[in-house]
Amino acid sequence: MGGGAEGLLLDGEAMRLREPEALIGRRVLCHREVTSTSAVAAALAASGEPEGTVVLAERQTAGRGRLGRGWASPLGLGLWFSTILRPPIPAVRAPVLTQVAAVAVAEGVEEVAGRLPGGIKWPNDLILAGRKVAGILTELVARGEGMAAVILGVGLNVNQGPADFPPDLGGRAGSVAMAAGRVLPRADLFRALLRRLDDRYREFLATGPGPALAEARVRSLTLGHPVRAREGEAELTGVAVRLEADGALALRLQDGELRRLVAGEVTLLQEP
């Protein structure tokens, strides 16, 4: 399993959503190679590209993860894409879109690959069979002191095998194919992700993040478990007790204090 890239180049026109009510995915721009789909999407957003435009690449040479980390994005084996969003919310509320998107990605994977053992590790990782298969990154495009757009980046490992990952990942990374035991059709999976992202985003605009957060709590691999968290220079140890209404993670520290994490790095101290 793994190796072998099918269907290059994915066809954006064939995969875009055509439903008149769709906000995400009605326009899909496909590239064989870019530095980062989020960088391309941010430049398009700054020049006035409409909401819902998706930038998809077969390969990223400088894919980005959280906290400045790189994201390995090999040719034809995954889905690397970023979406331009313009939600009518203050910038301080934008991080909750990470949780909304994480639920949508999990739902899209299950639609095509079937129910797999895994869930969401706060704030932005999809874990299948004990390995990270997807990461989600939300970044703001500023306009003066306000927000012009949110760039929602998704990196999903689809058809890699163990030999396709850099050695330094040490067995922590996986793919949907490794978890499912079979190669997945990337075009079908991408269409499912677009539909789920569009459904959850329009739900967010209509009713807020409550429904997606309820599902995120059900899928959480973090809640109820002891964790070590890093927020800036501070390192905290406690139990993750609650996913709050704005997507923040509430930790009960060892001294009993309750601390909110809006962003940061969380490591599980024991496997769920």
Q: How confident is the model over 61-105, as pLDDT tens digits?
A: 876 655 455 557 778 899 999 999 999 999 999 999 999 999 999
| Contact (Cβ atoms closer than 8 angstroms) between residue 174 and residue 126 | no
pLDDT over 80 (residue 171): no
How would you classify the pairing of strands 28-34 and 54-60?
Answer: parallel
* CA separation for the pair 106, 125 (Å, rounded): 10
Distance of CA 240 to the CA centre of its chain: 21
pLDDT over 50 (residue 26): yes
12-218: CATH, from 3.30.930.10, 1.10.10.10, 3.30.1240.10, 3.20.20.120: 3.30.930.10
222-268: CATH, from 3.40.640.10, 2.40.70.10, 2.30.30.100, 2.30.29.30: 2.30.30.100
User: What pLDDT shows up at residue 7?
Assistant: 46
Number of H helices and E strands in the chain, helices first, is 6, 12
First vs last C-alpha separation in the chain? 27
* CA separation for the pair 7, 4 (Å, rounded): 10
CA dihedral 57, 63, 64, 69 (to 10 degrees): 160
Tokens of 82: 């970023």
As a whole number, mean pLDDT of residues 27-31 equals: 95
User: Whose CA is closest to 148, among 83, 55, 86, 84?
Assistant: 86
Q: For 221, which DSSP code? A: S
**Count of CB atoms within 10 A of residue 64's CB?**
22
Of residues 8 and 237, the one with the higher pLDDT is 237
pLDDT over 60 (residue 5): no
pLDDT over 60 (residue 165): yes
What are the residue ranges spanned by the domains of the chain?
12-218, 222-268
pLDDT over 60 (residue 145): yes
Q: How confident is the model over 179-212, as pLDDT tens digits?
A: 999 999 999 999 999 999 999 999 999 999 999 9
User: What pLDDT shows up at residue 30?
Assistant: 94
As a whole number, mean pLDDT of residues 234-243 equals: 93
User: What pLDDT shows up at residue 60?
Assistant: 86
Residue 4's pLDDT band, with cuts at 50, 70 and 90, is very low
Q: How confident is the model over 42-51, as pLDDT tens digits?
A: 999 999 999 9
* CA separation for the pair 55, 238 (Å, rounded): 39
- 19-24 long-range Cβ contacts below 8 angstroms, 24+ apart: 21/202, 22/52, 22/198, 23/51, 23/52, 23/198, 23/201, 23/202, 23/205, 24/52, 24/54, 24/83, 24/85, 24/194, 24/197, 24/198, 24/201
